[in-house]
């Protein structure tokens, strides 16, 4: 698979948009395809719609027991959202998760882009071996490193802290792979021109390469943000005090004790927990799809 | 006698300096733990005191425990069902989306991908709730069709099918996107040539698209197998597990990573937990190596 040309054309601002191949014919199979498409549309959206439906309905368990297919009360929906937000533990978890995701994304961006810059534009002894070692991270199963990682992080005294949550995820082999693919498309003449103007090694990276890699940086940031926001297993292990629980751990607990609060408020919490990735998806969908495509077609 | 030259760093020293942060973090938080995880599996360690070397005894304890057998037999069934079902579904959906044209296809693709961006922990808790008997959405539908209601999360017969459903809901959009990208890379001329030869739509899929997508299928299958082997969030949260009690009724949703978590953080038997993780690692590594071997063969064709 020609991933390089794919990345360049879809991620670069200069490339052409990809052409759609159409094998179109109006026929019986076409009708089946349409039917199938509509059924799957219902399957994918109904559970999410259902949550909306419950949040934006009158209280009590009525929504769950006598179902209707559309929301009935806007005002009680906002009330439920407000009630969800007024739970101190939920707001705290929202803050912790935001801090965790932002710290992980910004740290990742800095260290990975520096490494990608060196691997793309410079020659140095051991380059090939180092790159292979870094790429081995693509197939390193997290479940396997969990116990020893816990050992390292507790030894550093980082349990119940933002750095304990965020730092282990920063050296992302996936982000390195995407950024390097992208940087290969930057014309070397631009770097040479900057050097002639007296730019240092670091200045070329900071003033030329980073700004030109904006799209790729955005792609890896979005994917890393979504991953950090949704991560459950690592926060479950590394946070022991309730004030350090992330949104994943806290929301899972809300669903755990079913008598703790009403289903409307639990669902309102779920909706709020899904909000940041949903907003990112709605506005920056193209970058997510590009990143996933590249990840899927790697190699 | 040669004149003494002032010491200068070689030009590539700057490169090493810029690479250092990445490799320090990678070594401390990825590569190091991978290697020390294997070392921990040969020790007895409760998380506080110093680990003591015990040889292969963790592996013996783990392999002889009934929970290990249950976790791995569940895993085998799960992988055998979820991988073909999920990939067949994703491929069919990609075929459909590939046919649709214009803004409609965009809309469908966006909707199909939506479950993939919902955080996994939410998918799990939402599906647990959708699958509750009596007033869960799915059983309401089943009652509407006048069929008997399965007790999805209480009856071990239905627990893995429930898990497969939740996983298919989540992962199909992801695999669809990869298939779609692969389909768009197939040159249009292939189809035109086939049309001239009188091939119909199905024949084009069977004889042009599927062979051309061979490497994409391989990647999607391998990714699906590797992530299925590590399944944790969905079964853990769908069975409302905790470190002391996990796997659901009759351990119908017990999987190896859950056992790693339970033995480690519940039982403080980190050596045993690391032994299970190492066994899992060997499995994942063999899948990866098989993939590399297959890919090399593919290049020959």
Summarize pLDDT for A85-138 with one digit per residue, the tens: 888 889 999 999 999 999 999 999 999 999 999 999 999 999 999 999 998 888
Average pLDDT of chain B is 89
Which one of B9, B11, B18 makes the best mutation probe of the A interface by having the most chain A beta carbons within 10 Å? B18
* DSSP letter string, chain B: -PPPPPP---TTHHHHHHHHHHHHHHIIIIIHHHHHHHHHTTEE--SSS--EE-TTHHHHHHHHSHHHHHHHHHHHHHHHHHHHHHHHHHHHHHHHHHH--HHHHHHHHHHHHHHHHS-HHHHHHHHHHHTSTTTSHHHHHHHHTT-PPP-TTTSHHHHHHHHHHHHHHHHHHHHHHHHHHHHHTS-HHHHHHHHHTT--HHHHIIIIIHHHTHHHHHHHHHHHHHHHHT--HHHHHHTT--SSS-S-GGGTT--HHHHHHIIIIIT--HHHHHHHHHHHHHHHHHHHHHHHHHHHHHHH-
Task: From residue A86, give the alpha-carbon distance in Å to each of A261, A267, A290.
Answer: 13, 14, 38
B-chain residues near A167 (CB < 8 A): 25, 29
pLDDT at A5: 42
Q: Could you list the residue range(s) of the whole structural domain that residue B196 is in? A: 82-252
Confidence category of residue B19, pLDDT binned at 50, 70, 90: very high
pLDDT at A218: 93
Q: Give the number of other CB atoms < 10 A from CB of residue A238.
A: 20
Any CB–CB contact under 8 A between B218 and chain A?
A: no
pLDDT at A258: 56
Say if B243 falls within a structural domain: yes
Instruction: Specify the higher pLDDT residue, B199 or B241.
Output: B241
Q: Would the CB atoms of A297 and B216 count as touching at under 8 Å? A: yes
Q: Is the pLDDT of residue B141 over 90?
A: no
Q: Is the pLDDT of residue B1 over 60?
A: no
Instruction: Specify the higher pLDDT residue, A198 or B202.
Output: A198
The answer to whether the beta carbons of residues B94 and B180 sit under 8 Å apart is yes
CATH number at residue B237: 1.10.3720.10
- Show the low-confidence residues of chain A (pLDDT under 50): 1-25, 62-63, 299
Say if B175 falls within a structural domain: yes
Report the residue from A115, A136, A296 with minimal CB separation from B177. Answer: A296
Q: Would the CB atoms of A270 and B115 count as touching at under 8 Å? A: no
pLDDT at B63: 94
Say if B291 falls within a structural domain: no
What top-level class would CATH report for the domain A85-296?
mainly alpha
Confidence category of residue B33, pLDDT binned at 50, 70, 90: very high
pTM summary value: 0.88
Q: Is the dihedral of CA A52, B177, B119, B255 positive or negative?
A: positive
Any CB–CB contact under 8 A between B98 and chain A?
A: yes
Closest of B61, B32, B34, B56 to residue B43, by C-alpha: B56
pLDDT digits (tens, 9 = 90+) for B148-160: 888 888 888 899 9
pLDDT at A296: 65
Domain count along chain B: 1
Q: Would the CB atoms of B226 and A45 count as touching at under 8 Å? A: no
Say if B90 falls within a structural domain: yes
pLDDT digits (tens, 9 = 90+) for A227-257: 999 999 999 999 999 999 999 999 988 887 6
Which residues are within 8 A (CB) of A160 and not within 5 positions of it... i.e. 6 or more apart?
A238, A239, A240, A241, A243, A244
CB pairs under 8 A between A and B: 285
Say if B146 falls within a structural domain: yes
Q: Would the CB atoms of B21 and A110 count as touching at under 8 Å? A: yes
Distance CA A191, CA A206 (A): 11
Confidence category of residue B273, pLDDT binned at 50, 70, 90: very high
B-chain residues near A139 (CB < 8 A): 226, 284, 288
Q: Is the pLDDT of residue B226 over 50?
A: yes
Question: What is the mean predicted confidence (pLDDT) over B269-274?
Answer: 94
Report the residue from B125, B264, B281 with minimal CB separation from A252. Answer: B125
Structural domain spans, chain A: 4-8+11-84, 85-296
Any CB–CB contact under 8 A between B119 and chain A?
A: yes
* DSSP letter string, chain A: --HHHHHHHHHSTTSPPPPPP-----SHHHHHHHHHHHHHHHHHHHHHHHHHHHHTS-SSSHHHHS--SS---HHHHHHHHHHHHT-HHHHHHHHHHHHHHHHHHHHHHHHHHHHHHHHHH---TTHHHHHHHHHHGGG--HHHHHHHHHHHHHHTT-TTSHHHHHGGGSS-HHHHHHHHHHHTTS-HHHHHHHHHTT--HHHIIIIIIHHHTHHHHHHHHHHHHHHHHH--HHHHHH--SGGG--HHHHHHHHHHSTTSS-HHHHHHHHHHHHHHHHHHHHHHHHHHHHHHHHHHT--
Report the residue from B100, B177, B220 with minimal CB separation from A293. Answer: B177
Tell me the shortest Cα–Cα distance from A37 to chain B, in angstroms: 7
The complex scores an ipTM of 0.89
pLDDT at A31: 82
Report the residue from A45, A111, A144 with minimal CB separation from B37. Answer: A144
Tell me the shortest Cα–Cα distance from B289 to chain A, in angstroms: 11
pLDDT at A18: 46
Task: From residue B290, give the alpha-carbon distance in Å to each of A150, B176, B221, B228, B260.
Answer: 30, 24, 12, 16, 25
The answer to whether the beta carbons of residues A221 and A109 sit under 8 Å apart is yes
A-chain residues near B260 (CB < 8 A): 143, 146-147
Question: What is the mean predicted confidence (pLDDT) over B255-280?
Answer: 94
pLDDT at A61: 53
pLDDT at B299: 60
Of the given ranges (B126-130, B139-143, B279-283, B294-298), which has the lowest mean pLDDT? B294-298
Distance CA B150, CA B254 (A): 19
């Amino acid at each position: 698979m020609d991933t390089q040309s794919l990345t360049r054309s879809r991620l670069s601002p200069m490339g052409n948009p990809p052409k759609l191949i159409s094998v179109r014919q109006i026929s019986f199979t076409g009708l089946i395809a349409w039917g199938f498409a509509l059924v799957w549309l219902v399957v994918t959206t109904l559970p999410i719609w259902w949550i909306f439906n419950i949040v934006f309905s009158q209280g009590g368990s009525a929504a769950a027991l006598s179902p209707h297919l559309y929301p009935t009360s806007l005002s009680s929906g906002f009330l439920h959202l407000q009630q969800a937000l007024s739970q101190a533990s939920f707001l705290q978890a929202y803050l912790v998760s935001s801090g965790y995701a932002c710290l992980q994304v910004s740290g990742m961006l800095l260290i990975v882009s520096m490494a990608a810059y060196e691997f793309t534009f410079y020659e140095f002894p051991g380059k090939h071996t180092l790159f292979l070692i870094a790429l081995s991270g693509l197939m390193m199963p997290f479940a396997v490193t969990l116990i020893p990682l816990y050992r390292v992080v507790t030894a550093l005294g980082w349990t119940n802290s933002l750095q304990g949550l965020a730092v282990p995820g920063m050296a992302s082999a996936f982000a390195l792979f995407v950024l390097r693919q992208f940087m290969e498309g930057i014309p070397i003449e631009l770097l040479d021109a900057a050097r002639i103007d007296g730019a240092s090694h670091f200045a070329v990276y900071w003033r030329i390469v980073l700004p030109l890699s904006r799209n790729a940086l955005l792609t890896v940031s979005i994917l890393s943000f979504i991953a950090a926001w949704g991560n459950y297993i690592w926060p479950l292990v590394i946070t022991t005090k309730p004030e350090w629980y992330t949104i994943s751990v806290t929301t899972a607990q809300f669903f755990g004790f079913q008598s703790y609060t009403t289903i409307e408020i639990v669902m309102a919490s779920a909706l709020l927990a899904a909000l940041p990735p949903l907003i990112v998806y709605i506005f920056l969908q193209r970058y997510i799809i590009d990143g996933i495509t590249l990840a899927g077609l790697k190699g | 006698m040669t004149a003494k030259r002032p010491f200068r760093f070689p030009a590539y020293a700057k490169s090493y300096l810029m690479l250092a942060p990445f490799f320090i973090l990678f070594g401390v938080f990825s590569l190091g733990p991978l290697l020390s995880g294997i070392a921990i599996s040969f020790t007895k360690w409760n998380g506080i005191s110093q680990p003591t070397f015990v040889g292969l005894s963790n592996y013996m304890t783990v392999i002889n425990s009934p929970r290990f057998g249950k976790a791995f037999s569940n895993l085998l069934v799960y992988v055998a069902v979820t991988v073909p079902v999920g990939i067949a579904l994703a491929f069919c959906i990609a075929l459909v989306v590939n046919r649709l044209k214009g803004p409609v296809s965009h809309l469908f693709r966006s909707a199909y991908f939506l479950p993939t961006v919902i955080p996994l922990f939410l998918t799990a808790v939402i599906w647990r709730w959708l699958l509750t008997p009596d007033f869960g959405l799915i059983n309401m539908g089943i009652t509407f069709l006048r069929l008997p209601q399965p007790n999805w999360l209480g009856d071990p017969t239905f627990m893995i099918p429930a898990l497969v459903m939740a996983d298919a809901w989540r992962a199909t959009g992801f695999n669809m996107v990869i298939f779609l990208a692969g389909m768009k890379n197939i040159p249009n001329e292939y189809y035109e040539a086939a049309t001239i030869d009188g091939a119909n739509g199905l024949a084009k899929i069977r004889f042009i698209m599927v062979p051309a997508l061979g490497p994409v299928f391989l990647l999607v299958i391998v990714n699906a197998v590797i992530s299925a082997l590590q399944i944790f969030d969905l079964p853990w949260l769908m069975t409302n597990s905790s470190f002391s009690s996990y796997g659901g009724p009759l351990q119908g949703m017990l999987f190896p990573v859950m056992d790693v978590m339970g033995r480690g953080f519940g039982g403080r038997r980190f050596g045993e937990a690391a032994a299970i993780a190492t066994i899992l690692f060997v499995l994942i590594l063999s899948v990866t190596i098989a993939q590399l071997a297959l890919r090399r063969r593919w290049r020959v064709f």
